[in-house]
Structure 1
Amino acid sequence: MMFRLRSVNTCLRRLLHGGTLNRDQILERLQVCSAEDQVFDVVGKNKAKLTVEHVSCAVGMLWQFQKERPELLRTVDLTKSHPQFLTLRVLAENKIALMDDLMLVDMLYAFLRLNIEAIDTLVQQMVSEAWLRIDRIASIIQKNLHVYKSVEVARITQALFLLQYQNPEFFTTLRNIMINFLQHSFYPSEVTMLIRVLSTLSSPRLDESVVSKVDAVVTQCNLSELNTISFAVAKWIRNDPSYRHNTHSKYVRLLQTLSRCGHERLQTADRLDFVLEELKYVSGEWFEEMLLEESMVTLKRMMAQINWANAPDLAFFLTRTNLLCPPLMDRIASVATEYIDKIHYSATYATLLPFSVLNYDSAQADELYDACIQRFTPHIRSFDPHLLVLLAYSLAVADHFPEELIREIFSIDFLGKLDSQLETLPDALNMRTRLRLMELNRAVCLACPEFQVPWFHERYCQQLQRKGNGSISPVQQQIHKMLGEVLGGINFVQAAVITPYFYTVDFECKLDKHLQPLPYTEPSTLQISDRGKVHWDPRSLENMREELPPGAQRVAVDFLDSKSFCKNSHHIKGEALLRKRHLEILGYRVVQIPHFEWNSMELSTHNAWKEYLKKKILR
């Protein structure tokens, strides 16, 4: 229930409470703050004078600063640890009774997004108070619909929808009001907002008034607005039962119009900063299929405009696209290296990320790694713990292990701080950080034994293994069967073999010193059901490994699907190479089978596949 409440926002406060806030000096000073430290400075100097409006403004701004950063780059822990944040919490708890309805819910939302725990007394008191007021909020809204503006109706609708407010007749009224606003609007941002909210309401098909309005304003829409409209159209397509039987020209024509306008906007753009701002929140199938290629052409055309201020944003965008673009990356590396002292130390993570993830190696890239390491090293203890783990892992993928960074992360003090922070992170980021810490621990143990970092993730990996009974693809089943034929029998190959440090190798075989296959004395611990489900025998978790005779070798055969390569490319990504390096350290000869080779026209017959495997393994 608490997380439903977060959807009610500052718009509703303006609707239900017509009075304006007093524009006193403290409020004015808060409103011009551009960073967390400035907000805390105002709070610290005016503790005794802060009103409920001041507290609401300060908390809202602290969340706004975090929201503007990508989730991986947020510094919530630093904000929460500031002494003046505790001041705001105490003041908020003492002033709950003075908050109007929507101020209460807004502040609750901000505190939750700043990772204040649900069991915290502040949150519990605010939640209890908010639920008492929600019914009254909704009834007041119904009485005042005739005075609201379009943006206000849209936000009301979205808030009540996310709150799962049960009143179909009221939602029908809201929908009709929004369509009326839509028909009379000529502002792209307003039209986009209304379309986005309308798409969340149950409607069997696209209203003709929506199509007409999009046609009227689409040439004025920016890339983010075009992307938002494409998401809305996709929802209508999924909800229209007749679409499954025939292709409605209105949907096709609308998507074509969006694509054409997107291309034109990119082709006529002349400011890199504006393009990056519009691309910041753009994602999804429509963008990747229709505009991604043109976006890269535009960014390359604007390479001369890359500077130290926009290089981290461009680098982060390239990471998201999964596209390798050497000219852009060389330019980023050159600019960032030259002006590294102007780049904030925490932005080195975003700057380095595409070079690591996309496995881009060049002279400029090597200089960038060195420059970034020198830049962030003096500030290691100022990073949010989870961000430092992610930074160290990205460097490990690129085979860089700065000793001071590694020793800090695997210190008792840091691991304690990280453990405390993990309890406050969203589930997805929590799991991602835990996984990255394990992978970093494994990488350091294997690549840098001289650091003498202990391997302490054995139990964690066993738990992951037991939870992770996944599935094996038809291609992997096909390779498994053919390996048996090539090697002389299914007892000469084992599937889903768990190595020391818990890598799972697709297939393992053993060859003697004459490259002849050796049989396994123990049967495979893997069981594959008819539906491709994978189940492991408990023995597989004990890292059972048969000793090799003198001169023999252990071969790991891995099938690499499209996720192991850059988009629309045969260029292998960093994590696939990291895995190969580690398996070689563990004593394997690693044979990688790229999906584009296995699925190629040259390997379209049974004998061709077998011959391919022979050349790869029995060389």
Structure 2
Amino acid sequence: MALKLIQRFPLLGQFGILRYPPVGPVLPSRLLRTRSEGQSSCVGYVLTSSSSKKLQSDYGIRNLTTIVKEPSFVVSSVGLHKDSSPRFRLTRLHQPTAAEDQAFQQRLTNCSSSRQVFKLLRSVEIMSDTMAAAALHRVADLEQEGASLKDPTVLENDTLRALCFRLEQDSGWLTDAGIVSTLLAGTRLFMDPWSTLMVRLVSESQERLDRGQMSVRQLCNLGQAMLAIGGSSCVMLEQVMKQIQEPADWSLEDLIAAYMLMQGGVGQDGKYHHLLNAMHTHARKMTYCMDPPAVSGLLGALVSLNQMQAMPLVISLCKQSVHHVPHFADDELTAVLGALMHFGYSDHDFVEAMERYVPQMAFTSHPETVTMVMQFFGRRNILSETVFDAIAESFVYRADDYSTSQVTRQIMALGKFGYLPPNAADVFRKVETILCTRLSHFQPRTLLNLLHSCTLMERFPVNFVPKVFNNFFLQELQEESTGLDPIAMAQLTQLYMTLKLECPNYKGLRLHRNYRVKSFLTSGRSLETSVDGQLYNSVKNGLVRLLGARSNFGSKVLTPYCYTLDVEIKLDEEGYVLPASQNDDVHKRIALCIDGQKRFATNKRQLLGKEATKQRHLRLLGYEVVQVPYYEFELQNKTSAIEYLHQKIFPHTYRMSW
């Protein structure tokens, strides 16, 4: 075996593994391979539980069967050759039946800890190489946490070490599927790429790859493994991509594997965009047969790759999701909702399916999933009393287990519409309790969002506002977002204005002028919705004919109170219209709110919370607010539009003809 490995040394150089011992400083990286000016150069890194050690090139040739490692992390054959227990034997001739393999996979899925996986392994009499690889993947599922393992010592478990030793010894006869799946599992478990097991698996994979007989799924698994070991510049990864052909004849499993490979980093920065577009076209034809994991996985990949041009595929996946809503796992539903928000799409049937499902899951699903449901309806401007009422009811009982971010995002969704659920008193009592007990746990921006959202529902957190007006808090807010952005300053200003207008007894801290804005109407996210241009022009033409001249009303007028008026009409003491430029002898100011569709919920004729707050504040500031909603004005013709505006603005006066 040693001779066979030594003979493979030239081959190992092709995919970027060096033959030198690990020394030098600690660096958080994996085995890398890069190119420079037409020549390849390789820098290797040994992964450990707490660090990775750079492989220097000025040391002697390394024996591949000797592993230099930190004993708590690296998996190798050391210590397993004689007295290791238990011992595994992978079957070669008598493969498990499909039923046995399926039963094993189901038992693996039911394992909720690595210890249970190891117990299952010790109980299996017949095991194929793919079953062994599946067991390693299940351990990775349970132990992987970001870029490390929750418990690195799991790799020192005798059962795992014995299994790895058997895979190492039998690597030469493993199936293509077993080789690449085991290699991928090794990268997911952050095994030392210099261990004998990993070196042999990579070497065998290279030989199988050179034969050009791997399936698409096997190529994709190998590609993911090499991406983890050698990065996107790895020569072996490039060889894999050359063998992945057009997807016209791919199975669904092949398609999903290819998307996972692209999502892992191969498809970033527009690379392989022709292949991606062909995959999108093929995927649209197969959405009808996709199960919940496939739908959520595909949508997640599209988000990671930011495939905005794949909207036809997103729409097809959303329609398929309608059938799976009750069957999605929590993480799958979270991924689907996040993707639909990312692409700005919602489907009427999907919304109805969610309305049927949410009352069943509000008390039992993961807090992040419940929160994501609220975010989805809020972001898509969909006011669903069924959904909001069910989650508001569960909020009262479950909020203590929510993070501060989850609490805030759920309240923000209610504030988006200024919607008060039937149990609003209990909800805000719970919010107040959380603020009292966990105020220091809130990030500055999160706390500001929560308090501001409360005011949109006419709930005024007077006891907690001094916290956000405090200079120390404002400095923290600036540091958190690298300077205060316009929306944060606008929220602070509106919060202060709300207290001055609606809580006259408030005597707490004032917001310093340096943190106030002059206008709530800004580009992008804003505390006001700009007027719809087409609707505004129609109303303007009617006003000119009603008032006799364009100079008799102002347009898009910025008030001293930060709000922008769509139209302002000034009247003297006797009720006559004054020129818009005149500021003397103004007895009444009429604020005409020309409310287009974007100022309402998409499914109901209810103003958004920020628009209702604006109109409420304008009335408190002395304006007579006249609302002209799109659904009323668009029913008028040119003649009736003038009469409509007259009845709206001057309901008690006779209209004169000009």
TM-score (norm 1): 0.60
Aligned match of 1:479 in 522, 535, 539? Answer: 539
Residue by residue, what CA displacement relative to the aligned partner does 1:152-204 show, whole Å, maximum 9, x if unpaired?
7469889999x9x9x9x999977534447995882564233346665933656
Which of the pair has more CA radius of gyration? 2
Residue equivalent to 2:490: 435
Query: Greater share of helix residues, 1 or 2?
Result: 1
Q: 1:350 to 1:191 in 2, by over 3 A?
A: same
**Cross-structure match for 2:297:** 225
Return the alpha-carbon distance in structure 2 between the equivalents of residues 318 and 423 of structure 1. Answer: 30
SS state of the match for residue 592, structure 2?
A: strand
1:190 partner amino acid:
A
Q: Which residue of 588, 594, 608 maps to 1:559?
A: 594
Are 2:490 and 1:447 equivalent residues in the alignment? no
Mapped partners of 1:489, 1:331: distance in 2: 52
The partner residue of 1:150 within 206, 220, 239 is 220
Match of 1:419 in 2: 478
Q: 2:257 aligns with which of 180, 190, 205?
A: 190
> 1:409 aligns to what?
468
Alignment partner, residue 323 of structure 2: 264
The answer for the alignment partner of 1:293 in structure 2 is 349
* Counterpart residue type for residue 545 of structure 2: E
Deviations along 1:547-594, one digit per CA (max 9) or x if unpaired, are 555xx3211012222221112321211111111111111111111222
User: What do the CA deviations read for 1:493-523 (whole angstroms, capped 9, x no partner)?
Assistant: 111211122111111002345544233454x
Cα gap change, 1:614 to 1:416, in 2 (>3 Å): same
Contact 2:374 2:410 in 1 (8 A): yes
Answer whether contact 1:393 1:436 (CA < 8 A) is retained: yes
Whether 2:653 is the aligned partner of 1:618: answer no
Distance 1:326 1:474, change over 3 A: closer
Which residue of 1 is the match for residue 619 of structure 2? 584
* Equivalent residue, structure 1, for 2:388: 329
Q: What is the CA-CA distance between 1:339 and the residue it aligns to?
A: 3.9
1:341 paired to 2:400? yes
User: Could you report, residue by residue, the CA deviation over 1:445-467 in whole angstroms, capped at 9, with x for unpaired residues?
Assistant: 33234324435447853498899
Contact 1:230 1:258 in 2 (8 A): no
In structure 2, distance between residues paired with 1:259 and 1:157: 30
Change in CA separation of 1:377 and 1:232 when aligned onto 2, cut-off 3 Å = closer
Mapped to 1, the partners of 2:515 and 2:286 lie a distance apart of 60
Provide the secondary structure at the position in 1 that maps to 2:418: coil
Kindly report which structure 2 residues correspond to 1:47-58, keeping only aligned pairs within 5 A, or say none.
none
Task: Tell me the distance in 1 between the aligned counterparts of 2:503 and 2:279.
Answer: 64
Q: 1:407 to 1:198 in 2, by over 3 A?
A: closer
Retained in 1: the 8 A contact 2:48–2:73?
A: no
Q: 2:590–2:623: 8 Å Cα contact kept in structure 1? A: yes
Q: 1:383 aligns with which of 442, 451, 475?
A: 442
Structure 2 distance, partners of 1:188, 1:353, is 38
Letter in 1 for 2:639: N
Larger deviation, residues 441-450 vs 328-337: 441-450
Q: CA deviation at 1:364?
A: 1.2
Q: CA-to-partner distance for each residue in 1:261-280, whole Å, 9 max, x for gaps?
A: 333323xx346735533434
Secondary structure, aligned partner of 2:568? strand
2:378–2:416 contact (8 Å) kept in structure 1: yes
Does residue 1:281 correspond to 2:352, yes or no? no
Which residue identity is paired with 1:375?
A: I
CA positional deviation for 1:421: 2.4
Q: Percent same amino acid at aligned positions?
A: 18
Q: C-alpha separation between the residues in 1 aligned to 2:510 and 2:601?
A: 33
Q: Does 1:569 align with 2:625?
A: no
Alpha-carbon shift at residue 345 of structure 1 (Å) = 4.6
CA distance in 2 between partners of 1:365 and 1:466 (Å): 31
> Structure 1: how far apart are the matches of 2:237 and 2:304?
18
Higher relative contact order (CA 8 A, sep 6+): 1
**Partner Cα distance (2:626, 2:644) in 1:** 12
**For 2:363, which of 285, 307, 315 is the aligned residue?**
307
Indicate if the aligned counterparts of 1:175 and 1:198 stay in contact, CA closer than 8 A: no
Partner Cα distance (2:498, 2:329) in 1: 37
Distance in 1, matches of 2:470 and 2:208, equals 58
Q: How far 1:416 sits from its partner (Å)?
A: 2.5
* Distance in 2 (alpha carbons) for counterparts of 1:471 and 1:202: 42
Aligned length: 453
Q: Deviations over 1:366-395 (max 9, x none)?
A: 321222122222322221111111111111
State the alpha-carbon separation in 1 of the partners of residues 252 and 561 from structure 2. 60
Letter paired with 2:271: L
Aligned partners of 2:481, 2:544: CA distance in 1, in Å?
45
* Structure 2 spans left out of the alignment, 5+ residues: 1-27, 34-41, 50-69, 76-112, 114-143, 150-205, 211-217, 525-529, 652-658
Alignment of 1:161-240 (within 5 A): 176-179=242-245, 183=250, 186=253, 189-194=256-261, 198=267, 200-201=270-271, 203=273, 211-212=281-282, 215=285, 219-220=290-291, 221-227=293-299
1:342-375 CA distance string (max 9 Å, x none): 4445532122122211221233123212221222
Q: Which amino acid aligns with 1:300?
A: R
Q: Partners in 1 of 2:230 and 2:645 — Cα distance?
A: 59
CA distance in 1, matches of 2:461, 2:495: 12
Equivalent residue for 2:640?
608
3-state SS of the aligned residue for 2:423?
helix
> Taking structure 2 as the reference length, what is the TM-score of the superposition?
0.57
Against the structure 1 CA distance between its residues 328 and 479, is the aligned structure 2 distance closer, same or farther, given a 3 Å change threshold?
same
Distance, in Å, in 1 between the alignment partners of 2:277 and 2:390 is 47
CA distance in 1 between partners of 2:399 and 2:432 (Å): 10
Q: CA deviation at 1:210?
A: 6.3
